[in-house]
C-alpha cells in the first residue's frame, strides 16, 4: 500500500451476528514501530511497562538522527475480563522512556487481575517527507498471582551422598493446589581456596515443587572441587519462576548459603571429566517392567492436525504421538511426551513446530526414555520457533494456520520464548538438530506461504516460523530449504512431507 491517507469501507453480506473484526494494512515505508515490555514481574497489582520507538529496515537512516516520526502514542489494553483501557505514552523522560524528546515513548498500566492481557500500541506522526506515520504493534502479556514468596536471608545446604549437596530454601507458599511447579535458576559462588576471591562454581536450572514449605535443588560436589572453592558460599541471580509462563515470582541478586556439610567429592581432586551426573543429576533407579523396544517418536506441534501420520511410513521403528488440536505449555507438553514414551525402553524424537521446544524442555528437566537412547541425533526438529513467533499472541486469531480455537500460547510468543530459553543450558541445546524452511520465490509473482500471516513475519519464513527465530543457539543447524511451508494447507508443500529430509532424519535418529 502506498503511503498517504486512505478511506476504507467494509460491507457485510446479509445481517450477521455482531462480531469483532480487523483490517490488516502494510506499507512499503522503511519506517517501522518497535515496542517491547521492559519488566518481567507480570504479577497481579504490579505495573506493566512498555516503551515504543521508530526503527527501520535499513541499517542507518540519516533522517532519523535528527527527526523522529512519532508525535504521540498510546496503549489500548484489553484486560482478561474484557474491559479496555486507553493508556497514554510519553516522551518526557519521566515514564521509563530514557530522556525527554529522544523518540522513545513510555507508559504503564496496573495489572488488576490474573490472566491474559492484550496490548495494542498505537503511534502517530509524520515522516521526514511530510507524509503521515501510523503504526500499531500487538503484545500478549500473561499475569499471575504472587503464589510464593521468600523472606529468608539465607538458604541452607547439607550433603546427601558422596557426590550430592542439597540446597534448601524456606518459602511461604500461597498456592491453592499442591501441584504448582516452579523453575529455579541460580548461580552458585564460593570463595577461592587460593586467593580468597569469590569464584563461580556452577549454574543451576531445575523444575521442582514446594515440599513442606521448602524448595530443594541439588548440586554435584565435583563442581566445587573443579572450582577449587572452600567456603563462603552464596547463590547469585536467583530466580524462582512459575513453570507455565516462566514469570519470576522471587528474585534475589544474592542469597547467602549456609553449608552444614559438604559431600566428599567436594574435597577430592577433580579428575577433569564433566560427567552426565554433574550436568543432569543422579539418574533415578528404574523399575524392572516389561517395555516395548527402542522407538522413534514423531511429535507434532501446537494446535496441530495429524502432520506426521501420512508420512509415518518414511520413518523406521517409529510411533506417532497424538495430542491434536490442543494448546499446551512447554512443561505440560513435555510431560505428555514423557508419559507416551514410557511404554518404550528408549526413544529419540523427530518433532514439528512446538514439539521441538517441548522435547528440548523434556530433555532438560525430566528423566525419560530420551536418556536411554542411542544414535546420532537425540532430538530433530523442523519449523520449531525456538525464539517464538509474532503469530503466537493475540495475532493467532488472524488465520486458519495457527491457533484457531486453541487460544494464545505465551511460551510461543517472542517474549515468552526468550524467558523460557533463559533457563535452557548449553549441554541440552547441543543435543538438538534443527531444520528451517521458507517459501519458494519467483520473480514474476508475490511470494508467501500464507497470505494471512505474511504481513506479520519477516522473510524468509514458512508461514509461522521466521528463519531467524527458528535458530537455536547451541543447537546443530541442519540447514534451510526453500519451497516448503509450515503446514500442509499453505501454498507450498508442508515441511513434514519432505521425503528426502524425512529419510535423513530417520537414518540418523536416536532410538
Quick one: average pLDDT of 471-497?
96
pLDDT of residue 15: 64
Confidence of residue 103 (pLDDT cuts 50, 70, 90): confident
Q: What confidence tens digit (pLDDT) does each residue in 134-143 have?
A: 889 889 999 9
Closest CA to 330 of 439, 394, 422, 223: 422
pLDDT of residue 131: 80
pLDDT of residue 87: 97
Spell out the residues 6+ positions from residue 80 whose beta carbon is closer than 8 angstroms to its own: 113, 114, 115, 116, 117, 143
pLDDT of residue 55: 80
Closest CA to 75 of 86, 63, 62: 86
Q: What confidence tens digit (pLDDT) does each residue in 367-403 have?
A: 999 999 999 999 999 999 999 998 886 564 454 444 4
Packed helices 330-341 and 354-365: angle between N→C axes, nearest 10 degrees: 70
pLDDT of residue 425: 98
Cell for 77? 489494553
Indicate if the pLDDT at residue 129 is higher than 60: yes
Cell for 67? 527527526
Q: What confidence tens digit (pLDDT) does each residue in 276-308 have?
A: 999 999 998 877 567 889 999 999 999 999 999
Indicate if the pLDDT at residue 348 is higher than 70: yes
3-state DSSP call for residue 165? Answer: strand
Indicate if the pLDDT at residue 344 is higher than 80: yes
Question: What rounded mean pLDDT belongs to the chain?
Answer: 90
pLDDT of residue 11: 75
Indicate if the pLDDT at residue 63 is higher than 50: no
Contact 426, 474 (CB under 8 A): yes
Indicate if the pLDDT at residue 61 is higher than 70: no
pLDDT of residue 429: 99
pLDDT of residue 86: 97
pLDDT of residue 98: 86
Going from the N-terminus, what domains does the chain have, and what CATH number goes with each? 31-143 (2.60.40.1930), 148-279 (2.60.40), 295-508 (3.40.50.1820)
pLDDT of residue 31: 78
Closest CA to 294 of 377, 190, 370: 370
Amino acid at each position: 500500500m502506498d503511503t498517504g491517507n486512505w478511506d476504507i469501507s467494509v460491507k457485510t453480506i446479509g445481517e450477521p451476528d455482531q462480531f469483532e473484526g480487523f483490517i490488516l494494512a502494510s506499507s512499503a515505508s522503511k519506517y517501522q514501530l518497535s515496542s517491547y515490555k521492559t519488566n518481567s514481574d507480570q504479577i497481579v497489582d504490579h505495573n506493566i511497562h512498555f516503551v515504543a520507538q521508530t526503527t527501520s529496515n535499513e541499517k542507518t537512516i540519516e533522517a532519523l538522527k535528527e527527526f523522529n516520526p512519532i508525535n504521540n502514542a498510546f496503549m489500548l489494553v484489553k484486560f482478561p475480563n474484557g474491559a479496555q483501557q486507553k493508556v497514554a505514552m510519553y516522551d518526557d523522560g519521566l515514564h521509563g522512556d530514557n530522556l525527554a524528546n529522544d523518540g522513545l515513548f513510555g507508559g504503564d498500566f496496573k495489572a488488576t487481575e490474573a490472566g491474559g492481557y492484550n496490548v495494542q500500541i498505537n503511534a502517530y506522526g509524520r515522516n521526514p517527507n511530510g507524509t503521515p506515520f501510523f503504526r500499531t504493534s500487538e503484545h500478549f502479556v500473561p499475569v499471575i498471582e504472587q503464589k510464593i514468596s521468600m523472606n529468608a536471608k539465607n538458604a541452607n545446604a547439607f550433603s546427601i551422598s558422596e557426590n550430592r549437596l542439597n540446597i534448601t530454601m524456606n518459602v511461604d507458599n500461597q498456592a491453592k493446589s499442591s501441584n504448582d511447579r516452579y523453575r529455579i535458576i541460580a548461580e552458585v559462588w564460593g570463595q577461592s581456596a587460593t586467593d580468597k576471591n569469590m569464584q563461580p562454581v556452577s549454574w543451576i536450572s531445575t523444575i521442582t515443587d514446594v515440599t513442606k514449605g521448602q524448595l530443594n535443588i541439588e548440586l554435584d560436589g565435583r563442581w566445587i572441587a573443579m572450582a577449587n572453592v572452600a567456603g563462603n558460599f552464596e547463590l547469585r541471580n536467583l530466580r524462582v519462576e512459575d513453570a507455565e509462563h516462566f514469570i519470576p515470582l522471587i528474585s534475589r541478586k544474592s542469597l547467602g548459603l549456609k553449608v552444614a556439610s559438604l559431600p566428599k567429592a567436594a574435597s577430592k581432586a577433580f579428575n577433569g571429566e564433566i560427567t552426565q551426573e554433574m550436568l543432569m543429576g543422579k539418574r533415578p533407579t528404574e523399575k524392572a517392567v516389561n517395555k516395548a523396544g527402542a522407538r522413534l517418536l514423531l511429535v507434532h506441534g501446537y494446535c496441530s492436525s495429524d502432520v506426521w501420520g501420512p508420512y509415518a511410513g518414511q520413518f523406521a521403528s517409529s510411533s506417532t504421538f497424538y495430542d491434536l488440536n490442543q494448546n499446551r505449555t512447554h512443561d505440560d507438553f513435555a510431560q505428555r511426551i514423557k508419559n507416551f514414551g514410557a511404554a518404550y525402553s528408549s526413544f529419540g524424537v523427530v518433532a514439528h513446530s512446538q514439539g521441538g521446544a517441548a522435547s528440548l524442555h523434556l530433555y532438560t528437566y525430566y528423566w525419560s526414555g530420551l536418556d536411554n537412547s542411542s544414535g546420532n541425533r537425540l532430538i530433530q526438529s523442523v519449523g520449531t520457533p525456538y525464539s517464538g513467533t509474532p503469530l503466537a499472541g493475540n495475532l493467532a486469531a488472524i488465520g486458519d494456520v495457527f491457533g484457531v480455537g486453541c487460544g494464545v500460547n505465551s511460551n510461543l510468543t517472542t517474549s515468552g520464548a526468550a524467558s523460557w530459553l533463559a533457563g535452557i543450558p548449553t549441554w541440552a541445546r547441543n543435543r538438538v538438530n534443527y531444520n528451517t524452511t521458507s517459501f519458494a520465490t519467483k520473480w514474476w509473482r508475490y511470494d508467501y506461504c500464507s497470505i494471512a500471516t505474511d504481513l506479520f513475519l519477516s522473510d524468509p519464513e514458512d508461514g509461522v516460523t521466521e528463519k531467524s527465530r527458528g535458530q537455536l543457539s547451541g543447537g546443530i543447524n541442519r540447514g534451510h530449504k526453500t519451497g516448503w511451508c509450515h503446514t500442509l494447507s499453505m501454498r507450498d508443500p508442508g515441511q513434514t512431507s519432505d521425503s528426502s529430509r524425512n529419510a535423513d532424519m530417520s537414518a540418523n535418529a536416536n532410538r
